[in-house]
Structure 1
Amino acid sequence: MSNVEARPVEVTCGEEDAGDRGVEVITARDVPLGGPRAMTVRRTLPSRRRTMVGAWCFVDHYGPDDVSETGGMVVPPHPHAGLQTVSWLFSGEVEHRDSLGTHAMVRPGELNLMTAGHGISHSEVSTPETTTLHGVQLWVALPASAAEAEPDFERYRAEPVAVDGAVVSVFVGALGVPGHDVPASPVVTRSPLLGAELTLLPGARLALSVDPAHEHGVLVDSGTVRVQGRQVERAELAFVPAGSPSLEVVAVGEDAARVVLLGGEPFGEQIVMWWNFIGRSHEDVVAARAQWQAELAGAEAERFGRFDYPGDSLPAPELPGVRLRPRG
């Protein structure tokens, strides 16, 4: 998914402190995807309080969205560089096309992982059959060693496993649930990562074995949960600092709950993120934008590529007039 804000902020990420080492709850901000009938997404990363959880640097949560009212998701061809995109749906269907020649449908329970590396372009459009669109769009920052990697695309259907009043589906990495065998995801990431969907019956208590070297984020899609004893409401993201070998998630009240669990080692590198690009410097972002604009104007598509699409590609917004100071 493109960041379609008219004035995207340039954010320097990767130099954060876990503070008092307790659970931190981040409230989402609403971001329209453009146009009077556009979808609105709820964005928790990056935020003023925190820009990353491990290598996870961008968390958009949307729906349930009535496509008859909003028109659904229509994101024309746009570029990415220096990152991986993770598409995960709860309901609906999205058609993905990219400059590698990939044509794939994003469906509930099926991970679509696109590695941009040096550069790629793609489009995302909800299908005519979709009535309700609901899911998350996540970005992963690539470490410097992989930032210029060749682009790639992978798909994986996660296997849901019933565990102690809950269902666990791991779409990235591996997750331990004592007494249960939960299949790990085979998709290739460039730093240690975890991504999983957890659904809990009312009152269910899920004890998870996690890597103590990882920090974690728990995004609440529905219901209310307690994470390590801290209450977290719908659309909030709970940040749990590294250091604990276990993580407890409890569904609070009379309703079931669904969360997306993210994890990874503290990134340990400073990055600059603007629009759909991640670089190591402001100059990296300026160069990526200039190349995309040149390709739109007819230059050889040597970095981001082209593919058939019945419409125009997204031009890049104007860059901010000044460098912004690091956040976090």
Structure 2
Amino acid sequence: MSNLDLKPTPTPCGGEADTGPVKELLTGRQVKLGESTQVRRLLPNLGRRMVGAWCFVDHYGPDDIADEPGMQVPPHPHMGLQTVSWLHEGEVLHRDSLGSLQTVRPFELGLMTSGRAISHSEESPREHARLLHGAQLWVALPDEHRYTAPAFEHHTDLPKLTAAGLDATVILGSLDGATSPGRTYTSLVGADLALRDGASHRLPLDPGFEYAVLAVTGSVDVHGVRIEPNSMLYLGCGRSELPLLARTDSSVLLLGGEPFEERIVMWWNFIGRSSEEIVQAREDWEKGVRFGEVHGYNGERLPAPALPSTPLKPRGNAR
């Protein structure tokens, strides 16, 4: 998934975790993605830029695309991060410069590691389902792994946890003894929690992680705070359990991880450590080098937006 802002702002990230538990309710902002898809951007947010290594969260749908083209994101570059494609409804056709061609369907993991450089496109198939509903997320790669070789993984059989009124799917990392096959480079967790109306549960958490819970459907009380779609509750660190109470049939995404201590700069679809890195990456994309080519997409690749007039500066205090 791309950041299609025509004037993306540099995002200073890293070292921003609260050392103790908090309850910080975040609201998404509407962003247009491609020609016909509107997303709600929860991260980066005015008040919160990262949750562990999770640094970008878009939630979209459910959208009726029966008579629409649906998602149409032209070829674009990434570096220094992983992208996570997660669907509740619909399908997304992924193509990348490695030659991958894969349709990602509901509750399947599409995981792309950009490493030093990759490009990809995402689109709804020509013959597609009526509804499109899902999330796109990025994970920042730590310095020691950000030049790793690019890769794409597709996992259809993810571990699940079940209890009365609860069905959980572990997307990345580990939760309550269940571990996703998706490769990670920092200690983190991502899980989809489906709750039936009235269900009440307490999930075990790692006190060393910081956490946030994103509402996907329905209405859920998280630590006594009501969340509904277009909201995410940041919980900070120091929690050993996650109390949940479903007010309706609902689903949420649990995101967490060790606080990301490195200072990074996130601009457009790049994550780096200096302004010079970002400038060079943009130049390479515009020249058609380094990021490879995506074959088979019916359209032009996405041009890079203009850089801001002032140098990009990584910021953030180590925890």
**What displacement does 1:229 show?**
1.8
The one-letter amino acid of 1:258's match is S
Which range moves more in the overlay, 50-59 or 222-231?
222-231
Matched, 1:119 2:117: yes
**Structure 1 residue 160: deviation in Å?**
3.8
Task: Map 1:20-39 to 2 at 5 A.
Answer: 21-35=21-35, 38-39=36-37
Corresponding residue for residue 138 of structure 1: 137
User: How big is each residue's C-alpha offset from its partner over 1:150-200, in whole Å with a ceiling of 9 and x where there is no partner?
Assistant: 101112122444312111111111111xxxxx6321211000110111011
Matched with 1:179 is none
| More strand as a share of residues | 2
**TM-fit CA distance, 1:71:** 2.7
Query: Shift in Å at residue 33 of structure 1?
Result: 1.2
Asked if structure 1 preserves the Cα contact closer than 8 Å seen for 2:17 and 2:237, the reply is no
Matches for 1:75-154 after TM superposition, within 5 Å: 75-127=73-125, 128-154=127-153
Is the 1:81–1:120 contact (alpha carbons within 8 Å) kept by the matching residues of 2? yes
Is 1:220 equivalent to 2:215 in the alignment? yes
Supply the distance in 2 between the matched residues of 1:324 and 1:204 (Cα, whole angstroms).
47
2: CA distance, partners of 1:97 / 1:276: 16
Count of residue correspondences:
313
Provide the secondary structure at the position in 1 that maps to 2:280. helix
What TM-score do the two structures reach when normalised by structure 2? Answer: 0.94
- Please identify, of 266-275 and 69-78, the stretch whose mean Cα deviation from structure 2 is larger: 69-78
**Hey, what does 1:305 align to over in structure 2?**
292
Contact 1:51 / 1:327 at 8 angstroms: preserved in 2? no
Residue 204 of structure 1, aligned match among 180, 199, 204: 199
In the TM superposition, residue 54 of structure 1 has moved relative to its aligned partner by 0.2
Q: Aligned partner of 1:246: which letter?
A: E
Q: Indicate how the Cα distance of structure 1 residues 17 and 102 shifts in structure 2: closer, same or farther if over 3 A, else same.
A: closer
TM-score under structure 1 normalisation? 0.91
Amino acid at match of 2:89: S
Q: Which runs of 5+ in 1 are unaligned?
A: 177-181, 296-300
1:61-111, Cα deviation, whole Å (9 max, x unpaired): 000011146531001110000000000000001110101111111100100
Unaligned runs of 5+ in 2: none
Percent identity, aligned pairs only, is 49
| Contact 1:44 1:236 (C-alpha < 8 Å) held by counterparts | yes
- SS of 1:174's partner is strand
Counterpart in the other structure of 2:42? 44
For residue 246 of structure 1, the aligned residue among 228, 241, 248 is: 241
Deviations 1:217-273 (A, max 9, x none): 100011121112222222211111111221112112xx2111011110000111100
